């Protein structure tokens, strides 16, 4: 009598992808590149237009600011867009082939762009006339705005990236490189969070609630939270990983986290594009 052997049931392809850490990270990085295309194109084109002939159809260049400040923000827009475009690729190379020459040379390019972009951006915001910080009708130069601090934080993270690399502390370098990636796409994340605010108010209007929260609240919160919150989230993850707490997470945690991240970026980008269209 022949024995009957049970055929093992293979796990579904979907479950396998959810448990594949590299696939999850690649999926997330690809979504960053895809969803940020409109912002990268828009920012680079407008910045290049003003840098070329001193004229651009954009509200920033119509403000009463020193001419040099407007050229600074134009270059900041071009450099920020370039950094946003290159950062996902650099992180992907760091995950898959960290010893390659392409990763080495592209890393130098990203570091240089980040250095100059943060410098000109901080200088611009330090010169920006912000009437919200002075008496009504009197504009003042406020150095410690969110924009300036964003640039200062990036300069510090840049320093740590280079320092850990020279020290050959590759684990620490990877952590600082991820922080730099978060800051590198920060200007676009600012638009993503703005897009979520747009979605919130549109949804509220659809259910018959007009302005459930004063919109001005977000104009003070968002310029800080768009980069501080992602950095804090990553910091919590790093601390948990060092303590070994992440080892107890389900196997599908990487894929589920990537899916949640892509959903957040996708909805925010749609809101951002809707705001642009409404303008």
Which pTM value belongs to this model?
0.85
The answer on pLDDT for 28 being more than 60 is: yes
The answer on pLDDT for 115 being more than 90 is: yes
Within 8 A by CB and 6+ apart from 42, the residues are: 276
pLDDT at 123: 85
Task: Tell me phi and psi for residue 141, to 5 degrees.
Answer: -90, 115
The answer on pLDDT for 181 being more than 80 is: yes
Whether 180 is in a domain gets the answer yes
Whether 95 is in a domain gets the answer yes
Whether 234 is in a domain gets the answer yes
Whether 14 is in a domain gets the answer no
Query: Under a CB-based contact definition with an 8 Å cutoff, are residues 27 and 266 in contact?
Result: no
Q: Mean pLDDT over residues 162-180, rounded? A: 94
Whether 11 is in a domain gets the answer no
pLDDT higher at 232 or 207: 232
> Looking up tokens 């850490």, which residue turns up?
21
225-248 pLDDT per residue, tens:
899 999 999 999 999 989 888 888
Whether 187 is in a domain gets the answer yes
> Looking up tokens 């389900």, which residue turns up?
250
Token pair listed for 216: 């001005």
Task: Give the 3-state DSSP-derived string for 15-61, with helices as H, strands as E and coil as C.
Answer: HHHHHCHHHHHHHHHHHHHHHCHHHHHHHHHHHHHHHHHCCCCCHHH
The whole-chain average pLDDT of the chain stands at 84
**How many domains are contained in the chain?**
1
In angstroms, rounded to a whole number, what is the distance separating the alpha carbons of residues 172 and 170?
A: 5
In angstroms, rounded to a whole number, what is the distance separating the alpha carbons of residues 189 and 224?
A: 11
pLDDT at 12: 52
> Looking up tokens 């992808």, which residue turns up?
17
In angstroms, rounded to a whole number, what is the distance separating the alpha carbons of residues 109 and 102?
A: 10
251-270 pLDDT per residue, tens:
888 899 999 999 999 999 99
In angstroms, rounded to a whole number, what is the distance separating the alpha carbons of residues 259 and 279?
A: 30
pLDDT higher at 21 or 204: 21
The answer on pLDDT for 18 being more than 80 is: no
Per-residue b or e along 108-121, where b marks 16 or more CB atoms closer than 10 Å to that residue's CB:
eebbebbbebbbbb
pLDDT at 92: 96
Whether 167 is in a domain gets the answer yes
Whether 61 is in a domain gets the answer yes
Q: Mean pLDDT over residues 125-131, rounded? A: 66
In angstroms, rounded to a whole number, what is the distance separating the alpha carbons of residues 113 and 84?
A: 10
Domain containing 147: what range?
21-278
In angstroms, rounded to a whole number, what is the distance separating the alpha carbons of residues 124 and 136?
A: 22
The answer on pLDDT for 279 being more than 80 is: no
């Amino acid at each position: 009598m022949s024995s009957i052997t049970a055929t093992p049931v293979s796990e579904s392809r979907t479950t396998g992808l959810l448990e594949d850490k590299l696939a999850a990270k690649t999926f997330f990085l690809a979504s960053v590149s895809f969803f940020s295309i409109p912002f990268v194109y828009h920012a680079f084109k407008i910045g290049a237009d003003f840098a070329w002939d001193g004229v651009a159809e954009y509200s920033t260049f119509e403000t009463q600011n020193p001419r040099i400040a407007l050229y600074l923000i134009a270059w900041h827009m071009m450099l920020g867009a370039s950094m946003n475009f290159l950062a996902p690729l650099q992180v992907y190379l760091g995950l898959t082939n960290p010893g390659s020459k392409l990763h080495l040379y592209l890393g130098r390019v990203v570091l240089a762009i980040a250095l100059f972009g943060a410098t000109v951006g901080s200088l611009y915001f330090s010169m920006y006339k912000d009437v919200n910080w002075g008496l009504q009708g009197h504009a003042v130069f406020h150095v410690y705005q969110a924009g300036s601090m964003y640039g200062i934080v990036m300069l510090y993270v840049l320093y740590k990236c280079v320092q850990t690399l020279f020290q050959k502390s590759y684990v620490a370098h990877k952590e600082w490189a991820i922080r730099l990636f978060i800051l590198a796409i920060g200007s676009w994340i600012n638009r993503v969070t703005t897009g979520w605010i747009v979605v919130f108010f549109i949804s509220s209007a659809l259910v018959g609630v007009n302005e459930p929260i004063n919109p001005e609240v977000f104009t003070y919160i968002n310029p800080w939270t768009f980069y501080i919150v992602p950095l804090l989230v990553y910091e919590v993850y790093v601390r948990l990983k060092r303590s070994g707490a992440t080892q107890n997470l389900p196997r599908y945690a990487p894929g589920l986290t990537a899916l949640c991240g892509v959903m957040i970026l996708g909805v925010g980008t749609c809101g951002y594009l809707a705001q642009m269209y409404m303008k």
